[in-house]
């Protein structure tokens, strides 16, 4: 059988463990299903789908709904099968042989993984000792590598830390000076104190990516989007496969936006619950990073992180083991769940550590 490309043969994929546990807090999903009424509305519209016809290639109604949600023009919105396909399409359009993507570790692993599988070089910059973005390092990387795409993740996954507006503006100026594109990944943007969406414009080399998987409780749908310049969106529409969004997905994404008030209420509840969880973590022998996402990164200080992960799993609690990720030796990441799920996690963690 034919072998894959040499540069892919030894490349590990990106996967999260899927095991049967009572408390699953490892993939930053929403802890509750969509609001009441969503499933019934979706079923009613699916009953009207013309299954023998291709879906709307331009997903006009969904594009218009997302645009209205963010008060932008429909031509500034690109939607795909999860934010990862958005990132892949961006890299297919603007990366490739002879071009470079810049990332700053530790950060979301798919930024560099997608670059590599599309044949794009990756330049890695380091963050500070506290895992914050180092602007001096950004200046060095951008000046040396002249990346076609520079990634910022805000809130950053897996740390949960947000980039301030002044920081994003400075990085944007650096990227624009080398004719590059700045991608701000805001998969967890609804939980944060500010958004780079306010900086988007048709003459600005900036896109902001979002996902339905977190606050909209739609991880199973695999739906994500970006907001950016109209010309860039036109180019992405040329690169993406035809009819890439099926009819059900287009309906689901449009209907979800009708439940904006419920989403905002859930976000507020999760932010409050995050504060409660962090307060209890601070009473335990762990190092905790400040988070504006729906997860918290922590490092046990009295036992190895990998051992703690296994002990939690034995108690039917699954969190993310980040100890093999760059700069995160011994670190674990826990998703904010329901109060009952979080109590089960905290009780199990306390038992393991004390």
Looking at the structure, tell me whether residues 313 and 222 fall in a common domain. no
pTM of the model: 0.94
Instruction: Supply the pLDDT for residue 9.
Output: 46
Between residues 12 and 238, which one has the greater pLDDT? Answer: 238
Instruction: Supply the pLDDT for residue 16.
Output: 65
Q: Give the residue-averaged pLDDT of 238-248.
A: 96
Looking at the structure, tell me whether residues 62 and 154 fall in a common domain. yes
Looking at the structure, tell me whether residues 180 and 240 fall in a common domain. yes
Residue 346 in domain: yes
Looking at the structure, tell me whether residues 173 and 229 fall in a common domain. yes
Residue 96 in domain: yes
**CATH number for 280:** 3.90.1150.10
Looking at the structure, tell me whether residues 107 and 240 fall in a common domain. yes
Instruction: Supply the pLDDT for residue 13.
Output: 53
Residue 17 in domain: no
Mean residue pLDDT of the chain comes to: 95
Residue 158 in domain: yes
Q: Write out the chain in H/E/C secondary structure.
A: CCCCCCCCCCCCCCCCCCCCCCEECCCCCCCCCCCCCHHHHHHHHHCCCCCCCCCCCCCHHHHHHHHHHHCCCHHHEEEECHHHHHHHHHHHHHCCCCCEEEEEECCCHHHHHHHHHCCCEEEEEECCCCCCCCHHHHHHHHHHHCCCEEEEECCCCCCCCCCCHHHHHHHHHHHHHCCCEEEEECCCHHHCCCCHHHHCCCCCCEEEEEECCCCCCCHHHCCEEEECCHHHHHHHHHHCCCCCCCHHHHHHHHHHHHHHHHHHHHHHHHHHHHHHHHHHHCCCCEEECCCCCCEEEEEECCCCHHHHHHHHHHCCEECEECCCCCCCCCCEEEECCCHHHHHHHHHHHHHHHC
Residue 99 reports pLDDT greater than 90 = yes
Residue 243 reports pLDDT greater than 90 = yes
Looking at the structure, tell me whether residues 77 and 104 fall in a common domain. yes
Residue 5 reports pLDDT greater than 90 = no
Looking at the structure, tell me whether residues 102 and 250 fall in a common domain. yes
Instruction: Supply the pLDDT for residue 19.
Output: 81
- Model confidence over 284-331: pLDDT tens digits? 999 999 999 999 999 999 999 999 999 999 999 999 999 999 999 999
Residue 170 in domain: yes
Q: Which of 258, 285, 319 is the last residue of a domain?
A: 258
For the chain, the domain total comes to 2
Structural domain containing residue 309 = 23-34+261-353
Q: Which of 235, 258, 281 is the last residue of a domain?
A: 258
Residue 252 in domain: yes
Looking at the structure, tell me whether residues 135 and 123 fall in a common domain. yes
Residue 7 in domain: no
Looking at the structure, tell me whether residues 214 and 94 fall in a common domain. yes
Looking at the structure, tell me whether residues 95 and 234 fall in a common domain. yes
Instruction: Supply the pLDDT for residue 15.
Output: 58
**CATH number for 99:** 3.40.640.10
Looking at the structure, tell me whether residues 234 and 323 fall in a common domain. no
Q: Give the residue-averaged pLDDT of 70-95.
A: 97
Looking at the structure, tell me whether residues 75 and 221 fall in a common domain. yes
What is the percent of the chain with per-residue pLDDT over 70, rounded to a whole number?
A: 97
Q: Which of 204, 236, 258 is the last residue of a domain?
A: 258
Residue 155 reports pLDDT greater than 90 = yes
Residue 5 in domain: no
Q: Give the residue-averaged pLDDT of 20-39.
A: 93
Q: Give the residue-averaged pLDDT of 226-237.
A: 98
């Amino acid at each position: 059988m034919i072998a894959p490309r040499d540069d892919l043969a030894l490349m590990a994929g990106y996967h999260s463990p899927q095991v049967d546990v009572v408390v699953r807090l490892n993939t930053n999903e929403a802890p509750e299903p969509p609001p009441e009424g969503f499933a019934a509305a979706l079923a009613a519209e699916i009953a009207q789908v013309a299954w023998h016809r291709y879906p709307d290639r331009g997903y006009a109604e969904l594009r218009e709904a997302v645009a209205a949600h963010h008060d932008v023009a429909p031509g500034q919105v690109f939607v795909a099968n999860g934010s990862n396909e958005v990132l892949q399409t961006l890299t297919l359009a603007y990366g490739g042989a002879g071009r470079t993507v810049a990332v700053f570790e530790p950060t979301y692993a798919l930024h560099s993984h997608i670059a590599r599988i599309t044949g794009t070089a990756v330049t890695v910059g380091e963050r500070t000792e506290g895992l914050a973005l180092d602007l001096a390092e950004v200046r060095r990387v951008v000046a040396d590598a002249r990346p076609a795409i520079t990634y910022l993740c805000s809130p950053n996954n897996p740390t949960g830390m947000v980039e301030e507006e002044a920081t994003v503006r400075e990085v944007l100026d650096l990227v624009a000076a080398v004719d590059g594109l700045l991608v701000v990944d805001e998969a967890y943007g609804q939980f944060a104190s500010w958004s780079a969406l306010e900086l988007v414009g048709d003459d600005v080399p900036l896109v902001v990516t979002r996902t339905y998987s977190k606050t909209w409780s739609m991880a199973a749908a695999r739906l994500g989007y970006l907001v950016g310049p109209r010309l860039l969106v036109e180019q992405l529409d040329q690169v993406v496969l035809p009819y890439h969004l099926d009819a059900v997905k287009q309906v689901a994404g449009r209907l979800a936006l009708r439940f904006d008030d419920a989403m905002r209420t859930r976000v507020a509840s999760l932010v409050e619950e995050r504060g409660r969880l962090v307060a209890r973590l601070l009473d335990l022998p762990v190092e905790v990073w400040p988070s504006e996402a729906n997860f918290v990164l922590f490092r046990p200080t009295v036992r190895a992180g990998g051992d703690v992960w296994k002990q939690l799993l034995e108690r039917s609690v699954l969190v993310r083991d980040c100890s093999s990720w760059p700069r995160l030796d011994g670190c674990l990441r826990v998703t904010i769940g329901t109060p009952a799920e979080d109590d089960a996690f905290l009780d199990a963690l306390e038992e393991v550590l004390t």
